[in-house]
Amino acid sequence: MKTPTRRDFLKTATLSAAAVSMSAASYARVKGANERIALGLVGCGRRGIGAHMAGVHNHDKDENVEFVAVCDPWKASRDKAAARVKDWYGLDAKHYVSHEDLIADENVDAVMIASCDHQHTTQLEAVAKAGKDTYCEKPLANDFGKLQRAVKAVEESGIVCQIGTQLRSYPSFGGAKAVVESGVLGDIHRIEQVRNGATPYWLDRIGEAKPEDVAWDVFLMDAPKIAFNPVMFTAWMGYMDYSHGPVPQLGVHFLDLVHYITGAKRPSSATCQGGLLTWNEEHKFTAPDQVSAQYLYPEGFMVSYTSNFGNADGNTFKIYGTKGTMDLSDWNNPTISAAGARKGEGLDAGDGAVAPVARPNHMLNFLQCLRNRETPHAPIQAGYDHSVASIMATQALARKRTQVYDEATKVIKDA
Rounded to whole angstroms, the Cα distance separating 215 from 276 reads 29
Q: Report which residue type is found at 58.
A: N
Distance (Å) of CA 124 to CA 112, 133, 194: 9, 10, 30
Residues 3-42: tens digit of each pLDDT: 343 334 333 444 444 444 555 555 555 676 679 999 999 9
Residue among 130, 119, 106 at smallest CA distance from 42: 119
Rounded to whole angstroms, the Cα distance separating 108 from 377 reads 23
Going from N- to C-terminal start, the domains of the chain cover 6-167, 168-359+380-414
Give me the percent of the chain exceeding a pLDDT of 90. 89
Q: Report which residue type is found at 250.
A: L
Ramachandran class of 399: left when φ > 0, alpha when ψ lies in -120 to 50, beta otherwise: alpha
| pLDDT for the residue 342 | 85
Residue among 10, 17, 266 at smallest CA distance from 158: 17
| pLDDT for the residue 343 | 81
CATH architecture entry for 168-359+380-414: 2-Layer Sandwich (3.30)
The gap from C-alpha 130 to its chain's centroid, in whole angstroms, comes to 21
Residue among 93, 41, 32 at smallest CA distance from 64: 32
**pTM listed for this prediction:** 0.92
| pLDDT for the residue 57 | 98
| pLDDT for the residue 24 | 57
The dihedral formed by the CA atoms of 8, 9, 15 and 19, expressed in degrees to the nearest 10:
150
The length of the chain in residues reads 415
Rounded to whole angstroms, the Cα distance separating 119 from 363 reads 21
Half-sphere exposure of 355 (CA within 13 A, CB side): 5
Rounded to whole angstroms, the Cα distance separating 196 from 316 reads 9
CATH architecture entry for 6-167: 3-Layer(aba) Sandwich (3.40)
| pLDDT for the residue 273 | 98
Residue 162 CB partners (closer than 8 Å, separation 6+): 134, 135, 136, 362, 365, 366, 369, 376, 377, 378, 379
Give me the percent of the chain exceeding a pLDDT of 70. 91
Q: Do domains 6-167 and 168-359+380-414 have the same CATH topology?
A: no
Q: What is the mean pLDDT of the chain?
A: 93
